[in-house]
Amino acid sequence: MNLAELNKVAQAMVAPGKGILAADESSGTIKKRFDTIGVESTEDNRRDYRELMFRSNDAMKNHISGVILYDETIWQKARDGTPLVEVIKQSGAIPGIKVDEGTKPLPNCPGELITIGLDKLADRLAKYYEQGARFAKWRAVIDIGPGIPSFTAISTNAHALARYAALCQAAQIVPIVEPEVLMDGDHDIDRCAEITEFMLKETFQQLYYQRVALEGMVLKPNMAISGKKSAKKASVQEVAERTVKLLKDCVPGSVPGIAFLSGGQSDEEATAHLDAMNRIGGLPWKLTFSYGRALQAAPQKAWAGKTENVANAQRAFSHRARMNGLASLGQWKADLEKKAA
Ligand code: 13P
């Protein structure tokens, strides 16, 4: 393992003013997204849609440091025959790859999940490296509900995340470690913070046991936030303060950067939260975005599967990328959104 090189890639992934585009929706998830805009999920449509983002010059050159791809996309060619990986590299962004193989029910833990894909991961990583991937992603899912999460789910998923991270570094690939505590329930911000703290503590303990070099990874956590169905919605300032406190308690300063998932927050909320955290300042790591939905909802709607809408969709994507780029510097303002609208 060349740690200096891993650290260089990790630093580039969280470069000031930039963040990561999560475009790694599985076939099932992208179909769901396309259903809402009335587009059939064919291989060509998936290619066309992702190509339009990767060719959004303003977004890609100025605000996107890296793109997480799904297996299908890393082997795909643009309409003109250029490999999509090349299109991404030409923009200056780094190609990355989702390597987990989704989730399965966790035995003896009703309603809980374990992320799978460790078997043969070393072989797959070598192929992805050859194809141009310099970082990877693995997502663990922890749900909050009556009686859950169990310690079994937390420790088993943290263990798998650390196994994955160690395998990535051995393959000279920077692991994005994503322990996602879902915001789907009716729990309040206190409960989210309590479970997220537990999951992060356990994750870093497992990373230590498995000798993962923290300088060569990026953490992708959820924020401390109220559940979507909570009766009590925490304010932007409260989300920012609670999240920063939690991260300071759990994430060693040798981790170069933290790139949040959006997890079902609205576009503007995800931006406002990131901005408010960066305004707190004095943090040991970079704080930026690794958003899927909060970057893509607007361009998907603008595109709606029509060639004549491509330029509009690219503008919508570039706008969100710019807003989040500003938020990564603590320089976003709500009226920038209105001006664009
Ligand atoms: P969201 O930002 O839509 O949560 O997606 C990010 C991601 O990569 C989840 O694994």
pLDDT tens by residue, 34-62 = 999 999 999 999 999 999 999 999 999 99
With 0-12 CB in 10 A as exposed, 13-18 as middle and 19+ as buried, what is 253?
exposed
Instruction: Render pLDDT for 143-187 as a digit per residue (tens, 0 to 9).
Output: 999 999 999 999 999 999 999 999 999 999 999 999 999 999 999
Distance 294 CA to ligand 1 centre (A): 8
Tell me the pLDDT of the chain averaged across its residues.
98
With 0-12 CB in 10 A as exposed, 13-18 as middle and 19+ as buried, what is 304?
middle
Is-catalytic flag, 180?
Answer: no
Residue from 18, 137, 220, 286 carrying the catalytic annotation:
220
The number of the ligand 1 atom at minimal distance from the alpha carbon of 295 is 2
Residue 251 has pLDDT above 80, yes or no: yes
Q: Are 219 and 177 in contact (CB under 8 A)?
A: yes
The tokens for 164 are: 């994955």
Residue 291 Cβ inside 6 Å of ligand 1? The answer reads yes
- Which of 291, 295, 324 has the most ligand 1 atoms within 8 A of CB, as the residue to mutate? 291
Average pLDDT over residues 210-218: 98
Q: How does DSSP classify residue 185?
A: S
Residue 262 Cβ inside 6 Å of ligand 1? The answer reads yes
Cis check for the bond before 252: say yes or no (omega within 30 of 0). Answer: no
pLDDT at 44: 98
Q: Are 314 and 302 in contact (CB under 8 A)?
A: no
Residue 261 Cβ inside 6 Å of ligand 1? The answer reads yes
What residues have CB less than 8 Å from 34, skipping those under 6 apart? 40, 41, 45, 46, 49, 300, 305
Q: Are 274 and 287 in contact (CB under 8 A)?
A: yes
Go through the domains of the chain in sequence order and give each one's CATH number: 3-340 (3.20.20.70)
Residue 338 has pLDDT above 90, yes or no: no
- What is the H or E stretch that residue 69 is in? strand 64-69
Tokens 């470069």, residue located: 15
Q: Are 234 and 189 in contact (CB under 8 A)?
A: yes
pLDDT at 341: 60
Strands 103-105 and 113-115: antiparallel
CA 136, 12, 180 angle in degrees (round to 5)?
A: 40
Residue 22 Cβ inside 6 Å of ligand 1? The answer reads yes
CA 329, 335, 338 angle in degrees (round to 5)?
A: 120
Strands 64-69 and 19-23: parallel
pTM, two decimal places? 0.98
- What is the H or E stretch that residue 85 is in? helix 84-90
Instruction: Count other C-beta atoms under 10 Å from residue 3's C-beta.
Output: 12
Q: Using pLDDT thresholds of 50, 70 and 90, give the confidence band for residue 227.
A: very high
Instruction: Render pLDDT for 268-284 as a digit per residue (tens, 0 to 9).
Output: 999 999 999 999 999 99
The tokens for 238 are: 């409260």
